[in-house]
Amino acid sequence: MSKSFDLLKPYLDKSAALDMALSALSFDFDTTAPKKAASYTHQAMAILSKESYDALMNNQVKELLDKCLNEDLTTKEKAIVLELQKIYDKLIKIPSELYNENRKLEREAQLAWEEAKEKSDYSIFQPYLEKIIENQKAFIKYREDDQLKGYDVLLNDYEPGFTVEVLDQFFELLKKEIVPLIEKVKNKNHKIDTSFLNRDFDIEKQREFSSWLANYVGFDLSRGIIKESVHPYTTQLHKNDVRFTTHYYKNQLDSAIYSTIHESGHAKYEQGIADNLTLTLVGSGTSMGMHESQSRFYENCVGRNKNFLGPVFNKLKETFPHQLSDVTLLDFYKAVNKFEPGLIRIEADELTYSLHIMVRYEIEKRIFNGEVDTVHLPTLWNQMYQEYLGVTPKNDAEGILQDVHWSGGSFGYFPSYALGSAIAAQIYDHLQSLMPIQEMLTTGDFDKIDEYLQTNIYQFGKTKTTQQLLKDMMNQSFDSSYYIKYLKDKYHAIYEEEE
């Protein structure tokens, strides 16, 4: 073992311990803490957060890091050191004055965005967005190198290897294939009835069902818990304490079902990290896109599959015999797969979701190419929604102001959502070539699927990149054609039956 790495380890451990405490506090705050806890709790959390930052960002650590880079390291040590270097690079290249000024700006911008959304008035947010973009452009200039220029610098923060060149091909294919597909099946939409999902479903019973469902798809409840929050998410203290939230609506049965399966997919990934990686810098999912691929694999490829729904729907009927007495499996299957081009990304169905992302990607690209100014963004947004989804926002709140991301300077983040769906479809196709997936889903036997994901994805944490994982798994890199084929096959089958 390398000597410098041994000296570095206590710093890393301290930072990990503080981060763990912060995760616990933050989850507690979102799910359990009383309403008025905010100011004092946040005060304490800010102190812990600074401690965690200082534990890594200091001269001793920097010196050890530089030494480690020139020493013989194990694969795991090397991955940790490179991860630490990435964090350093990102911060060190940006002058601290500008960095701090920008953090302040983002806090103000967030408040401006909230007010603007509330009043549906983009002009309140526009000057802040302008300044945020200006800062992001300055950050790019400081961080650019021989390989990464412009918008690619930001994309690389979330999804290394997925540059504008790769994403352009991906979204072009979506535009060419999915936009016409939507047009084609749109007319048949009215025949699918979803009204039974809006009957009265007792929340306590939904809770029991969610717990059963999470366990059914392989979330280990002896190493995890489920709570509730408005926006469902997954977090982990370490691999044996993985927590996620879901939400229940009395008159929207599918909402909890699919947020529970989605988060179970994220949570299983975190529970599957190798023992020797948890609580290190590489002890969680490798990228946002890969994480999202695991949640969407369960939510969509598995969760909306007719074979999978067989036993699940039986259990659901047992739980709600009265409300679902006149509903068949086929009714249910069609209802949870119905598509409807809409205005709001987070309410979008499987077929149209990626088009919402395409709008955001194209706008971000134009922003960083200097092709559009912030004043004209709402017009551009509305035009794109009309062109790709056939709908036009009536106001800014349901248009350009709907997402919080840009107010926090998160540019380059959105594509990962769409990549997640596409990667899930590619893995799903691969699994079908290896094992009788449909039979397994029919009987609810997930052992082989779990074992495969565990062996080929989960355990590695951040020690392999997304592209590496895909290459090692199927001897090919990311390929979006699987996703297109998956969507076409699926929606043709659902909507053809109507004829």
Q: What is the DSSP string of 259-272?
A: HHHHHHHHHHHHHT
Q: Which CA distances in Å does 316 have to 21, 207, 241, 494?
A: 37, 12, 28, 22
Q: What is the DSSP string of 324-349?
A: TTT--HHHHHHHTT-----S-GGG--
Binding part of the chain for Zn ion, among 182-190, 294-302, 375-383, 426-434 by CB under 5 A, reads 294-302
Q: How far is the CB of 289 from Zn ion (least distance, A)?
A: 11
| Alpha-carbon span 350 to 25, nearest angstrom | 33
Report the residue from 163, 295, 382, 407 that binds Zn ion according to the rule CB under 5 A.
295
Binding part of the chain for Zn ion, among 291-299, 396-404, 427-435, 486-494 by CB under 5 A, reads 291-299
Q: Select 298 or 388, whichever has its Cβ closest to Zn ion.
A: 298
Number of residues near Zn ion (by CB under 5 A):
1
Query: Which tokens belong to 265?
Result: 């997919």
Find the residue with minimal CB distance to Zn ion.
Answer: 295
How many helical (H) and strand (E) elements, i.e. helices and strands, does the chain have?
Answer: 20, 3
Q: Are 333 and 306 in contact (CB under 8 A)?
A: yes
Q: How far is the CB of 12 from Zn ion (least distance, A)?
A: 27
Query: Scanning residues 133 to 162, which ones bind Zn ion (CB under 5 A)?
Result: none
Q: How far is the CB of 295 from Zn ion (least distance, A)?
A: 4
Q: Are 303 and 258 in contact (CB under 8 A)?
A: yes
Q: Clarify whether 159 is annotated catalytic.
A: no
Q: Select 142 or 233, whichever has its Cβ closest to Zn ion.
A: 233
Binding part of the chain for Zn ion, among 78-86, 290-298, 361-369, 372-380 by CB under 5 A, reads 290-298
Binding part of the chain for Zn ion, among 197-205, 292-300, 397-405, 451-459 by CB under 5 A, reads 292-300
Q: How far is the CB of 292 from Zn ion (least distance, A)?
A: 5
Query: Scanning residues 406 to 425, which ones bind Zn ion (CB under 5 A)?
Result: none
| Alpha-carbon span 54 to 129, nearest angstrom | 30
Q: Is 382 in the site for Zn ion (CB under 5 A)?
A: no
Q: How far is the CB of 234 from Zn ion (least distance, A)?
A: 7
Q: Exposure pattern of 386-406 as b/e (b: 16+ CB <10 Å)?
A: eebbeeebeebbbbbbbbeeb
Q: Are 82 and 41 in contact (CB under 8 A)?
A: no
Quick one: which H or E segment has residue 181? helix 164-186
Look up residue 7 and give its DSSP letter.
H
Q: Select 296 or 334, whichever has its Cβ closest to Zn ion.
A: 296
Binding part of the chain for Zn ion, among 52-60, 293-301, 441-449, 463-471 by CB under 5 A, reads 293-301
Q: Select 289 or 393, whichever has its Cβ closest to Zn ion.
A: 289
Binding part of the chain for Zn ion, among 165-173, 289-297, 387-395, 490-498 by CB under 5 A, reads 289-297
Q: Would you mind telling me the total number of residues written for the chain in this entry?
A: 499
Q: Select 5 or 158, whichever has its Cβ closest to Zn ion.
A: 158
Query: Scanning residues 436 to 475, which ones bind Zn ion (CB under 5 A)?
Result: none
Q: Select 266 or 334, whichever has its Cβ closest to Zn ion.
A: 266
Q: Select 232 or 378, whichever has its Cβ closest to Zn ion.
A: 232
Query: Which tokens belong to 495?
Result: 């909507």
Report the C-alpha dihedral over residues 215, 218, 222, 228, rounded to 10 degrees.
-60
Q: How far is the CB of 346 from Zn ion (least distance, A)?
A: 11
| Alpha-carbon span 360 to 364, nearest angstrom | 6
Q: How far is the CB of 303 from Zn ion (least distance, A)?
A: 13
Query: Which tokens belong to 35?
Result: 């309403």
Q: How far apart are the first and last CA of the chain?
A: 67
The three state secondary structure string of 25-60 is: HHHHHHHCCCHHHHHHHHHHHHHHHHHHHHHHCCHH
Q: Are 88 and 289 in contact (CB under 8 A)?
A: no
Q: How far is the CB of 141 from Zn ion (least distance, A)?
A: 32
Q: Which residue is catalytic, options 77, 263, 270, 364?
A: 263
Q: Select 287 or 295, whichever has its Cβ closest to Zn ion.
A: 295
Whose tokens are 């979008």? That residue is 348
| Alpha-carbon span 243 to 225, nearest angstrom | 5
> What amino acid positions are annotated as catalytic residues?
263
Which residues would be at the binding site for Zn ion (CB under 5 A)?
Answer: 295
